Amino acid sequence: MSKKKRPKQRAEFRKNYQGRVRTGDLTRDFHDGKSDQLADVRKSERVSGKGELTRKRTVAEDESVNAGAGNENLLYGRVISVHGLKCRVLDDQGNAFECAIRQVLKSMSIDGRTAVVAGDRVRFRAESSIDGMIEQVEPRHGIISRTSRGQQHILVANVDYLLIIASAASPEIKPVLIDRFLLTAAQCNVQPILVVNKVDLIEPVLLQQLIGVYASLGTRVLMTSAETGVGVDYLRHLLAGKQTVLAGQSGVGKSSLLNEVQPGLGLAVGRVSDDNDKGRHTTTASRLIPLDAGGAVFDTPGIRQFKLWDISASEVAGLMPDLRPYVSACRYPDCLHLSEDDCAVKNAVADGRVDARRYDAYCHLLENDLLLDSI
């Protein structure tokens, strides 16, 4: 019986990921008295080229691995957190491993800053009861990412919900930041949920108009207070059995809410500065926290600026549910709805069919972020 061929795929690698070593040293041979042999040596030496490995390489997969047979040390797991070159991985039996990343994964040419991120489903080789080596990363879905230094910075992968945490006060709610998270959720096909925390600090009626705008867009809005427990039971029920990422600026109470949702977590909680009304970072890296009720949440570092990834200026209006119905009615097909004539979006704002604050947030995003980067 003929042996089955292993499936192969072409993978692109980073430029100059492998150094080249010269096979000979003409100067040393000359000083060693081997000058008579130099006549037979090629007169030119190639100093550029692809080296021993090209930038594209065929990577073969082991079918026995895909079938779950073969090497008993090859396990399935999920990345809980990433710290430098080490990843903490939880296998399907609940055992934790400190894993390194296989060199071939780190050498692949990718848009992201790292080859492995929190939330990844991986295959790894257990080298001891606590250490391992990540061999392969499973295909991702539900990716939440932003732009960082011109590269894709993936915060988490494989999530169902994007829980946007804002605070009613201390620090003040930032609609522009909320809109950026909503755009990311629409781009990644992840369901967004807006949680307004610290409602005990103000009269909730003051938030009614703003919350009404987001609710009219079809976004689920929940008002909570980690201090008084308002909305915590509903939030706990909402997170059960789901993979959820928490996102928001520093100081809005993400860790405090998680401590209330699952008592006993003991996550570090910081306080908001009285000088600049900004929170301090208590979470330094994205990490997965399994929930007793099933599912898991990803606690992410506080974000003061969220720069969109892979969303162009011309795509923003189409990703905003309240602006989308008017986009195709503009006079110009490439209308950005800023200063163009006969713009259906601007007419809708003037007539009160689109909330003026949402349009202001749209203009702020294009003029101070996306269009500025394209200049």
Give binding residues for Zn(2+) as ranges: 330, 335, 337, 343
Collect all residues with Cβ–Cβ distance below 8 Å to 134 and sequence separation of at least 6: 87, 89, 99, 100, 101, 102, 105, 116, 122, 123, 124
Task: Residue 316: name the closest of 374, 248, 247, 370 by CA.
Answer: 370
Binding site, annotated residues:
197-200, 248-256, 330, 335, 337, 343
Binding site, annotated residues for GTP:
197-200, 248-256
**327 burial type by CB count under 10 A (0-12 exposed, 13-18 middle, 19+ buried):** middle
Q: Which pair of structure tokens corresponds to residue 112?
A: 């992201």
CA separation for the pair 74, 256 (Å, rounded): 37
Under 8 Å between Cβ of 115 and 102: no
> What residue spans of 123-191 are helical by DSSP H?
175-188
Task: Residue 65: name the closest of 133, 5, 6, 139 by CA.
Answer: 6
Helix (H) or strand (E) holding 97: strand 96-101
Please report the sign of the dihedral spanned by the C-alpha atoms of residue 353, residue 356, residue 357, residue 359.
Answer: positive
Q: Which pair of structure tokens corresponds to residue 154?
A: 């993936």
Other residues' Cβ atoms within 10 Å of the Cβ of residue 45:
10
